[in-house]
Amino acid sequence: MMEIAKRLNGVGEYYFSQKLREIDAMNKAGKNVINLGIGSPDLPPHPSVIKVLQDESAKPNMHGYQNYKGSPQLRNAISNWYKKWYHVNLDPETEILPLIGSKEGIMHICMTYFEEGIGVLVPNPGYPTYSSAVKISGATPIYYNLKKENNYEPDFDELEKLITQFPHQGIRGLFVNYPQMPTGQLPTVKMFEDLVAFAKEHDLLLVHDNPYSFILNKKPLSILSVAGAKDVALELNSLSKSQNMAGWRVGMLCGKKERIDEVLRFKSNMDSGMFLPVQLAAAKALELGQDWHDELNAIYAKRRDKVYELLDLLKCSYDTSQAGMFMWAASPNPSEEGALNHPLGIGGILSDKILYEANVFITPGGIFGDAGNDYIRISLCTKGEKIAEAIERIKNLKLKI
For position 39, what pLDDT does the model report? 86
For position 272, what pLDDT does the model report? 86
For position 334, what pLDDT does the model report? 54
For position 340, what pLDDT does the model report? 61
CB count, 10 Å around CB of 170?
A: 14
Judge: domain 6-44+291-397, CATH 3.30.460.10. no
Q: pLDDT, tens digit, for every residue of 178-197? A: 999 999 999 999 999 999 99
- Cα separation, 47 vs 379, in Å, equals 24
User: Residue 20: pLDDT above 90?
Assistant: no
For position 398, what pLDDT does the model report? 65
The Cα diameter of the chain in Å comes to 64
Give the least confident one: 35-44, 52-61, 327-336, 371-380: 327-336
Q: pLDDT, tens digit, for every residue of 121-171? A: 999 999 999 999 999 999 999 999 999 999 999 999 999 999 999 977 799
Mean predicted confidence (pLDDT) in 5-10: 83
- Cα separation, 392 vs 61, in Å, equals 53
- CA separation, residue 121 to residues 126, 130, 166, 189 (Å): 11, 9, 11, 21
For position 178, what pLDDT does the model report? 97
Mean predicted confidence (pLDDT) in 262-286: 95
For position 237, what pLDDT does the model report? 98
Mean predicted confidence (pLDDT) in 305-326: 95
For position 396, what pLDDT does the model report? 81
243 against 342, higher pLDDT? 243
Please say whether the beta carbons of 370 and 340 come within 8 A. no
Judge: domain 63-285, CATH 3.40.640.10. yes
User: Residue 339: pLDDT above 60?
Assistant: no
For position 3, what pLDDT does the model report? 84
Please state the three-class secondary structure of the chain as a single string.
CCCCCHHHCCCCCCHHHHHHHHHHHHHHCCCCCEECCCCCCCCCCCHHHHHHHHHHHCCCCCCCCCCCCCCHHHHHHHHHHHHHHHCCCCCCCCCEEEECCHHHHHHHHHHHHCCCCCEEEEEECCCHHHHHHHHHHCCEEEEEECCHHHCCCCCHHHHHHHHHHCCCCCEEEEEECCCCCCCCCCCCHHHHHHHHHHHHHHCCEEEEECCCCCCCCCCCCCHHHCCCHHHCEEEEEECCCCCCCHHHCCEEEEECHHHHHHHHHHHCCCCCCCCHHHHHHHHHHCCCCHHHHHHHHHHHHHHHHHHHHHHHHCCCEECCCCCCCEEEEECCCCCHHHHHHCCCHHHHHHHHHHHHHHCEECEEHHHHCHHHCCEEEEECCCCHHHHHHHHHHHHHHCCCC
What's the pTM value of the predicted model, to 2 decimals? 0.93
Length of the chain, please?
401
Instruction: Name the pLDDT band for 19 (thresholds 50, 70, 90).
Output: confident
Report, in angstroms and rounded to the nearest whole number, the Rg of the chain calculated over CA atoms: 21
For position 12, what pLDDT does the model report? 76
Q: pLDDT, tens digit, for every residue of 29-88? A: 999 999 999 889 999 999 999 999 999 999 999 999 898 899 999 999 999 999 999 999
For position 169, what pLDDT does the model report? 77
Q: pLDDT, tens digit, for every residue of 92-106? A: 999 999 999 999 999
Across the strands, what pairs with 206?
A: 174, 233
Across the strands, what pairs with 234?
A: 207, 255
Return mean pLDDT, the chain. Answer: 93
140 against 335, higher pLDDT? 140
Query: Quick one: what percent of the chain has pLDDT higher than 90?
Result: 83
User: Residue 319: pLDDT above 70?
Assistant: yes
Query: Quick one: what percent of the chain has pLDDT higher than 70?
Result: 97
For 60, residues 6+ apart whose C-beta sits below 8 A from its C-beta are none
Structural domain boundaries in the chain: 6-44+291-397, 63-285
